[in-house]
Structures are given as C-alpha cells and as structure tokens.
Amino acid sequence: MKYDVIVIGSGPGGYVAAIRASQLGKKVAVVEKAELGGICLNWGCIPTKALLKSAQVFNYVKQAADYGIRLDAQAKPDLKAIVQRSRTVADGMSKGVQYLFKKNKIDLINGFGKLLPGKKVEVISDDKSKKQYEAGHIILATGARSKELPSMSIDHKKILGYRDALVLSELPESMVVVGSGAIGSEFAFFFHSLGVTITLVEFMPTILPIEDEEVSKQLERSFKKSKMKVMTNSSVEHVDTSGKKCKVTIKTKKGEEIVEADLVLSAVGVVTNLEGLGLEEVGVQVDKGKVIVDDFYRTNIEGVYAIGDIVHGPALAHTASHEAITCVEAFSGLNPQALDYGNIPSCTYTTPEVASVGMTEKQAREAGYEIKVGKFPFSASGKASASGSKDGFVKVIFDAKYGEWLGCHMIGENVTEMIAEAVAARKLETTGYEIIKTVHPHPTMSEAIMEAAADAYGEVIHL
C-alpha cells in the first residue's frame, strides 16, 4: 500500500506530524508497536502529572488546619487507587488520540516499523509476519527510553525505571532516587509526599542542573525543609541487591557512604530508540545516538525525516510536537520558520514547581551580555500569601543595552502555567520596559513577572 506520509511512532511528535499532514491533504499512516500516544501520554508526561496531583491533594489535606479546616480522621494515601487514577487518565488521553486519528482519516498500522531502501517501510507484527508499505515522506519519531548506569542495571524488582515507578502496587518504606532532573525530582517529591523516606542523589553540584542556579538551590532548600535527604556532587558506585534491602554505595566529596533502601529508582536520563530501524542499511547518518537532520528535520536520505527525542535538542514533548509541525509544513511547501531552540520552555512539576525559558544568569554573562537582573519573591505576593504558597520567586534577565528579554526563571506554585507569557513575549521581541508597562491582573501570581521586570530596572513597587 502506498501513502503520502508514513510516521513511525505515535508520541507527541509522531501523532502531531500525522494529524498536520492529514490536515494538509496527505494520505497518512502511523506505525506503532505499543499504545497510541507513545511514552508521554501513556508512561510519561500525563500519568506522572496525575500522580503528582494526588500527592498535591494529599499535602493539602495534611495542611488543612492551616486553612481553617478541621478533619476528624487522619488521611492516608491509597497507592493502588492513586495509580489506578493515573492509568485511567493516561488511557483516556490515548483514546483521545484514537479519536483524532479517526477524525483525520489516519491509518494505524500495528507493529514495529523498519526503514527499507526506496522510501519503503517494513512492518513486523506481533505474530512476526511482515508487510511492506511505500510513502513519499517517512518520518521517524521513535522516542527514547530509560538510560541505565553501569553501576546499577534495572531489574524491575529492586532497581526500577520510571515505568516501574508509575505502577507500584505498594509504597516502600524507603527509596534512593538516582538523578535529579525533572523525572527524578518529580518522583522524589511524589513518593516523599506519600511518606516514603527518600534519598535523592545527583552527580552535579545542584539538583535540576540545567536550571538557573538560584532556582535549583531554592528547590533543594524546599526538599530539605520537608526532610528529604539530598546528596549533590555524588554518584552511585554500586548497588547490592542480594539482601532484603538494597545497599547503595554512594561516592561523595567526603568519601563513600552506604545508604540502605527498599528500592532504587534510576532517573539518569534517556537513550534514543534507534535499534532495528534500519538506519545503517538505508544510510541515514547518526551522531552520538542522534539522527542528524537540518533545520526542517530532513536526514541525508531524500524523503526520510526525524523528529523528537532521536534528534539533537531538548527531549521534551512540546519540542517534538513543534518539530513535527515544522517538518510537515516544510515538505508540504508552506515555508515555515525554523524552530528557535533558545525559546523552548522547561517545566518541572514538583511542589514548588519550576519553569524557565532562555538563558540563565550565568549563561548570559558567559555570552558577553551586560545584563539587568530582576527578582521578585512570592513572599511579597498577595495571591501567594492568600493561597499559602509563598515559597519561590520569579527571576528575569534582560540585555542592558537593548532591553531584550534573555531569560526567565521561576519557582513557585503554578509557575508552569505562567511561563508561556515569557515565551510569547520573547518570541515577539518584547523588551523589559514593555513588560513593566503591561497591566497584570491583581491579585495573581503572574504579577511577580511584572514586578521582577520592574526590579531589574529599579522601579519595583512592592519590595
């Protein structure tokens, strides 16, 4: 069977590419070996946010007295019910993609897709049968999976990957979380909120190492304030799983330390899913585990494209979706703009939340900018005080010469819902002074953005 477009993978890159191609009049098929929606909808972004919401509600209940509400019975988390809710949410999102495929007349081909020469795709079904398809354009969107350290191989029993952590049947008493990026920090917060003793281990000097240093240190303070053990500048050297508990040997600046825990969660990043795709046979160029593409996601082989986690750039769902649209519109002749990777927001859904876009203060200085830096703490925000969530701040960085908004970094309640203002403003080349003069509603958390900008220019009112 011949199609205009075949997409291999149905995550936020793949299914978005398919839908946009169908909107542009293409005959489209998607090859998927597992659930529609990929890791994000089924085992990543969506189910983790459902878990985190349960943890947030549980924290609200525990703190009800702070809001003048008395609870007669002591609240207890029901992990099975929490996990079931998470799986129900994920299943609903996957069914939503099924509906969109039907609406847009996209064919779903179940199986493992492999490239063949001559713009062909071979699909291997679960029963090992094979069938070939042709397409004028083939988009690779196969995503990534948990990365493993040599010192701790995931056995899915005592050493877990993120998928295992999503469906635990009972809470352990203790857990070591290795890696404090978004995945590690979110899981550490989730399990700690439910009463698990957590040790969070990070190789770099700060947790959330890609974030602005002040933000990372603030989150670390929040974690430690809640009695979570955080070990930075530390690495896991060995995990002994032979006993009832895991014995985790951790190398620190002060020497080795052994931490005992029921479970170990590996959250040290992801590795791309390129095995078996036929890239070498077809001649698609790869560099350090990433497919080489141009600004419009064309590989070196005509008619073959790659998007999402398997290409260089931030491995984020929203990045993959925008790459998908750019890719499809480019080969459809719409002349889209190349994606600006300097203006992609990053979000971490702990409590407090973290969100950022653009350069950190350190990066701006290293790039040679003369900068203006403004900061507004939520402790001075009326809305934050009313909501009982005063931890955190908004930090903004502007070019002193032209007022260009170089970076925005936030930590606090609901800041993941606020960062889009900075992304849109930077896209529109808005200056710091224009942000100061933009009327923000009161009382809101978003006022902190305006106040932080005013602080950068020495005009802040509420500090």
Provide the annotated active-site residues: 442
Please tell me the distance from the alpha carbon of residue 10 to that of residue 187, in angstroms, as a whole number.
25
The CB-based long-range contact list for 278-284 (8 Å cut-off, 24+ gap) reads: 278/114, 278/115, 278/116, 278/122, 279/115, 281/115, 281/116, 281/117, 282/115, 282/116, 282/117, 284/115
Kindly state the tokens that stand for 40. Answer: 């994000």
CA-based angle 418:422:426, to the nearest 5?
Answer: 160
H helices of 272-315, in order, are 279-282
Q: Which of 139, 426, 144, 428 is nearest to 296 (CA)?
A: 139
42 HSE (CA, 13 A, CB side)? 13
Contact 433, 459 (CB under 8 A): no
Backbone angles phi and psi of 217, in degrees to 5: -70, -35
The CB-based long-range contact list for 427-430 (8 Å cut-off, 24+ gap) reads: 427/340, 427/343, 429/404, 430/405
- Asked if omega into 443 is within 30° of 0 (cis), the reply is yes
